[in-house]
Structure 1
Amino acid sequence: MGDSASLISAPARSTEPLPLESRSLLVLHASVTGTAIDVAERIGRRARREGWAAQVKSVAQFNPMELLEHGLVVFVVPTTGNGQAPPQFIPLWTALLHPGLPPDFLEDLRYAVFALGDSSYGKYNWVGKKLSRRLDALGAHAVVERGEGDDQNEWGVESTFPDWLDALVQSIDPLFAAPSGFAPLPAAARPPPRVRLEKIASTSETSPPSGSIANGCHTASSNGALLWSDDARWARLVKNERVTSDGWYQDVREIEIEIEGVTPDERNRLYAAGDVLEIRPQNSAEDVERFLTTTRWSDIADAVYCVNATSSDQPLPPHIPPGYRTTLRHLLTYELDISSVPSFSFFEWLAHFCEGDMQERLREFASPAGYDDLLDYARRPRRTINEVLYEFRSAQIPPDYIFDLLPLIRPRGFSISSSPASHDGKVDLLVAIVQYKTILSVPRKGLTTSWLASLEPGARIPVRFDTSGQLRLPPSPAPLIMIGPGTGVAPFRALMEERIRTGAKDNLLFFGCRSVKADFYFQSFWEKLVDDGQLTLSVAPSRDQDDKIYVQHRIPDHAAQVWDYVQRGGSIYVCGSSTQMPKAVKKALLAVFRSEGSMTLDSEVEALWDQLEKEGRIVEETWG
């Protein structure tokens, strides 16, 4: 995405934004974890309160040429890893970088950017910064200074976003005056619902076949979930086996799935080593029943409704057709997330449906004065939406607000641990079942992994291949250094299966586990490669001795080999947790560069690191 010089040398624009032709704006988001969606929706709601016609869209639904059709666009963009853009943002960014665009290409555009990132990374909010500079270079006019949210701040995005949103509203208000006599909708007033639920029939009555249309409404599929993307598809579970030792504290599964409807000649082209498989889970029947009981919707849970948007500015999610014919139980099972930690917006909405002390408490949570209380109540103990609703069960929630109150279930990505040629097109995953304890009595669990753990072979799973990642097979026979503690080792098995096929024998793997006897993933596979002279393996079992040993501690033992591989055009891939590991690994590698490369200046070492990153020879694929 360019170098840092443009961030320093580009002059600030001083031209005042031109007036608008209408009181309307577009909010574009590129979300990774869901935070960008929540921020974008809050911008849209605030704008509507102030009398603006506001559309909120994912960049995945947006044609870059539409920028010429809008007078005011607000971008909400996160930075992933160490400076990477979210996959769905790439087409828009690529279009903006087209060398043939003149410097006045976007002179009629007014814009604002709110960036999301993590200040522990060197390229903090890099995507937002680069986007601002590029829009300026194409003649666009910033209406407010770029906002920046920081995951490292205890309050997260709330540390900066409310003040930035106030500044945005103040800056755009003069660009097109509100109608004479207009008064903003008070914050305490409930906005209209996003959807209208029209009752059609109950399940006890005869209903049309799956996929048909009744009374102008599309019927929910008997398959259950709607596929959330045009390139999503159905798969069947083949294997679901625990690979950690019996009695070990962590349940890690090797999961194998097979894509449905694949022809023999398509099998080896389904995906590539380094790709990610997205899986969209569903809520358990028990959790759905609890939600229905809490909201007092049990009596209408299986009534059939036709779902339509109430405004063209707030359409249904793209994968849900207008006039979708469904039930509340179906929506809560397959579409809407009731198991995640609630966002800031959830408390704003819930306050509209409560009275008295409950409403006052919720509104305090949704104010700057209540941020610390909100952290203690929801974020730190990881309290779920379902649990919060139970505690505020006096809330009277009209079903029409179901898409306002609840976020969509998001797919979770897993690094693929197989290559298609080695597994006849099947897909292998290494999945750690997320379960942990907090101060709450009920253990916390991950929605996707707990759902996967419950499935038996033969179960159908909605999946999608994400091919946008940077973890790609290096050109053979260039050397490869792999650093992957825990399940971070998964994509390296896929890469090595392909490396073996091409005869690339210069491979070095640093693998971290807790105990060789308990969680040494793919042990027999790695050891065979070592025996065949195709891999150097360095294992860091952190709990098998008194002193804890991690992957970064093993790197100095192979300093000469690491430096030799780098000098010969090799790549370094780091996969695993995004907490402390990537920083510790980088520090260890920089020490190798300094000692083996006889570098005396920190600037020399950092320059080499930056150069390797630009060449795509250092890649981090990490997750929280």
Structure 2
Amino acid sequence: MATNEPLPLESRSFLVLHASVTGTAIDTAERIGRRGRREGWAVTVKSVAQFDQTELLEHGLVVFVVPTTGNGAAPPQFIPLWTALLHPGLPPDFLEDLRYAVFGLGDSSYGKYNWVGKKLSRRLDSLGAHAVVERGEGDDQNEWGVESTFPDWVDRFFDAIDPLFPPPLGFTKLPLTATPPARIRLEKVASASSPVKLTADSAPLPWTGDARWARLVRNERVTKDDWYQDVREVELEVEGVEPSERNRLYAAGDVLEIRPQNTPEEVERFLTSAGWADVADDVVLVSPRDNDQPLPPHLPTPFRTTLRYLLTNELDISCVPRLSFFEWLAAFSEGDMEEKLRWFCEPAGQDDLIDYTLRPRRTINEVMYEFRAAKVPPEYIFDLLPPIRPRGFSISSSPASHAGKVDLLVAIVQYKTILSVPRKGLTTTYLSTLPAGARLPIRFDTSGQLKLPAGTPPLIMVGPGTGVAPFRALMEERVRAGANENLLFFGCRSESADCYFRPYWDELVERGFLTLSIAPSRDQEDKVYVQHKIPEHADRVWDYVQRGGHLYVCGSSTQMPKAVKKAVLAVFRDRGGLDEQGAEKLWDGMEREGRLVEETWG
């Protein structure tokens, strides 16, 4: 850490920056902001995507809430700031007047646990910045998740910063049981004189500047009708694209983001539970209460809209609620109900909260129905509810092979818990109901590491389930380039029911472009997974690796990536004659060179 003291703070204020992937970082950052405002701090909370790197020199105190994705990867929106901080021309005293704190989010089952938070702390220190508190780390592997460490860390953070700019004499902190003001104002507008242009039935506003509109061309089930899982091939055509642009719309390996809508039935249910049904279609003017808490950046300020529109297009009522949701609900409850809600927010109540929400995957809408006696004023809608997040899908096509259209392989999420109503994924349910010709907002995410290798080196692909999707896109380009050293380990449950793209793989095998190894886990008594197939091709795997080949792993982030790594390391030892340390070194070296990429999701 730097030894010279930074300049005193100019005001009782600080900035919280988050780089969210699943929404946990946003929620954590907002909780820091609310706590700060209770204690008399002026707090601005924003995404790093809204942040200009030069602003770091304008703030005396910044809190970073940063997750680590996969095995050490940074969220895409964090990359520009991180790249700027790594600039070799920055002097060691560049941030000498910055005080900072870092709270990292990660998963300790990965080798590079909380890697982004650790690297950020080290880099800020090397630029002369001063940590006000030891870095905090939230662990997804812990049953309590972020709650296992965050409450204690945030207490220590505020204890550390309170003396830096003491509150004015006579200031009284707002008690935790007191309700802070809403972040927005709602002003009812006379509909006759100021008609609203945006209703729940109209097209939603794009959520980001580079979002585009697409139309649904095809939405076709590819698993057998009697198969337990509904998996679709979805084809989209981007609107307003010149023919000359089509082959440059995206690249093989890119991801398509789709921001869904809540169904009319779910919205109506929420409105009824909240007691807002009578005002759901009143035209209102939404504006921020103060500049520290602006509206989401894609919304105009002020925003003329309706509660029904916001619940349909902007706010998530279908996700599992976080602790902060219960804090807000408790503020507008009474008696035994308030006592139960506040218990959920206590450290001692975390097991009960998990049993109530996380284990059964109970949704916000279901909780609102059960606690419908709570009287939440509509102006707290942005405090109570998280934003709808876009969901990313690996693109299963290359633009040159599909005339610029976008193909996706989408597993419709539906499963049972102890609750009687099946759990459903918001985005996949939304997609499954769209008819051909439907219009939806999309965005291409080009920040991933799963890129077409330069030239024609050998390629090993491991893709169980829908994880195989990007490999079809890569193979379409590889075939075009004449790259014929390709090995695919594909895991399905049954070759007859869910062997995705099988005709295409068979064609490539026949043409000499692909070696295919299928692991149909349920077609025999003993379950067979992709990692079990790797030893059968050990000579080819080692040959490909030795000759500069790439290894790509794509699919579920549960046990599969670790099992695949274990199988590949065994090949390195058995065929390469390496000891355990040497095998790990080779694996790490491939990762550093960009020859080893894991793209996994929960």
Classify the secondary structure of the residue corresponding to 1:54.
Answer: strand
Q: What is the match of residue 21 of structure 2?
A: 32
Q: Which amino acid counterpart does residue 483 of structure 2 have in structure 1? A: A
Q: What is the match of residue 618 of structure 1?
A: 596
Q: What is the match of residue 335 of structure 2?
A: 356
Classify the secondary structure of the residue corresponding to 2:397.
Answer: coil
CA distance in 2, matches of 1:295, 1:246: 39
Give yes or no for contact 2:231–2:411 (8 Å, CA) kept in 1. yes
Q: How does 1:113-512 map to 2 (within 5 A)?
A: 113-202=102-191, 205=192, 207-208=194-195, 210=197, 223-512=202-491
Deviations 1:400-419 (A, max 9, x none): 00000001100000000000
Shift of residue 602, structure 1, vs aligned partner: 1.4
Match of 1:591 among 554, 557, 570: 570
The count of corresponding residues between Structure 1 and Structure 2 is 602
Deviations 1:343-367 (A, max 9, x none): 1110111110101111111011011
Cα pair distance change 1:39/1:278, threshold 3 Å: same
Gaps (5+ residues) in structure 1? 1-11, 211-218
Give yes or no for contact 1:17–1:143 (8 Å, CA) kept in 2. no
Shift of residue 21, structure 1, vs aligned partner: 1.4
Deviations 1:383-403 (A, max 9, x none): 000000011010001000000
Shift of residue 225, structure 1, vs aligned partner: 1.0
Shift of residue 17, structure 1, vs aligned partner: 5.7
Q: What is the match of residue 105 of structure 1?
A: 94
CA distance in 1, matches of 2:534, 2:157: 48
Shift of residue 13, structure 1, vs aligned partner: 5.2
Shift of residue 475, structure 1, vs aligned partner: 1.7
Q: What is the match of residue 570 of structure 1?
A: 549
1:604 aligns with 2:593: no
Classify the secondary structure of the residue corresponding to 1:517.
Answer: coil
Q: What is the match of residue 95 of structure 1?
A: 84
Q: Which amino acid counterpart does residue 623 of structure 1 have in structure 2? A: W
Q: Which amino acid counterpart does residue 340 of structure 1 have in structure 2? A: C
Give yes or no for contact 2:200–2:312 (8 Å, CA) kept in 1. no
Q: How does 1:531-550 map to 2 (within 5 A)?
A: 531-550=510-529
Deviations 1:581-618 (A, max 9, x none): 0000000000000111111x211111111100000010
Q: Which amino acid counterpart does residue 179 of structure 1 have in structure 2? A: P
Match of 1:530 among 500, 506, 509: 509
Q: What is the match of residue 66 of structure 1?
A: 55
Q: What is the match of residue 513 of structure 1?
A: 492
CA distance in 2, matches of 1:13, 1:260: 53
CA distance in 1, matches of 2:311, 2:287: 17
Give yes or no for contact 2:321–2:364 (8 Å, CA) kept in 1. yes
CA distance in 2, matches of 1:462, 1:367: 40
CA distance in 1, matches of 2:277, 2:136: 43
Shift of residue 52, structure 1, vs aligned partner: 0.3
Q: Which amino acid counterpart does residue 170 of structure 2 have in structure 1? A: G
Classify the secondary structure of the residue corresponding to 2:166.
Answer: coil
Instruction: Please report the TM-score for the alignment, with normalisation by the length of structure 1.
Output: 0.95
CA distance in 2, matches of 1:448, 1:262: 25
CA distance in 2, matches of 1:17, 1:382: 46
Classify the secondary structure of the residue corresponding to 2:283.
Answer: strand
Shift of residue 105, structure 1, vs aligned partner: 0.2
Cα pair distance change 1:377/1:14, threshold 3 Å: farther
CA distance in 2, matches of 1:96, 1:136: 11
Q: Which amino acid counterpart does residue 233 of structure 1 have in structure 2? A: R
CA distance in 2, matches of 1:426, 1:100: 43
Give yes or no for contact 1:274–1:472 (8 Å, CA) kept in 2. yes
Shift of residue 201, structure 1, vs aligned partner: 2.6
Shift of residue 224, structure 1, vs aligned partner: 2.4
CA distance in 2, matches of 1:428, 1:109: 46
Cα pair distance change 1:222/1:544, threshold 3 Å: closer
Deviations 1:207-230 (A, max 9, x none): 5473xxxxxxxx669742110000
Q: What is the match of residue 43 of structure 1?
A: 32
CA distance in 2, matches of 1:608, 1:300: 63
CA RMSD after TM alignment? 1.1
Deviations 1:92-126 (A, max 9, x none): 00000000000000000000000000000000000
CA distance in 2, matches of 1:199, 1:521: 52
Shift of residue 292, structure 1, vs aligned partner: 0.7
Classify the secondary structure of the residue corresponding to 1:560.
Answer: helix
Shift of residue 472, structure 1, vs aligned partner: 0.3
Deviations 1:547-574 (A, max 9, x none): 1000000000000000000011100000
Classify the secondary structure of the residue corresponding to 1:315.
Answer: coil
Q: Which amino acid counterpart does residue 454 of structure 2 have in structure 1? A: P
Instruction: Please report the TM-score for the alignment, with normalisation by the length of structure 2.
Output: 0.99
Q: Which amino acid counterpart does residue 486 of structure 2 have in structure 1? A: N
Shift of residue 483, structure 1, vs aligned partner: 0.1
CA distance in 2, matches of 1:345, 1:131: 27
Shift of residue 296, structure 1, vs aligned partner: 1.3
Q: What is the match of residue 214 of structure 1?
A: none
1:19 aligns with 2:32: no
Identical amino acids, percent of aligned pairs: 75
Classify the secondary structure of the residue corresponding to 1:456.
Answer: coil
Deviations 1:116-153 (A, max 9, x none): 00000000000000000000000000000000000000
Shift of residue 477, structure 1, vs aligned partner: 1.4
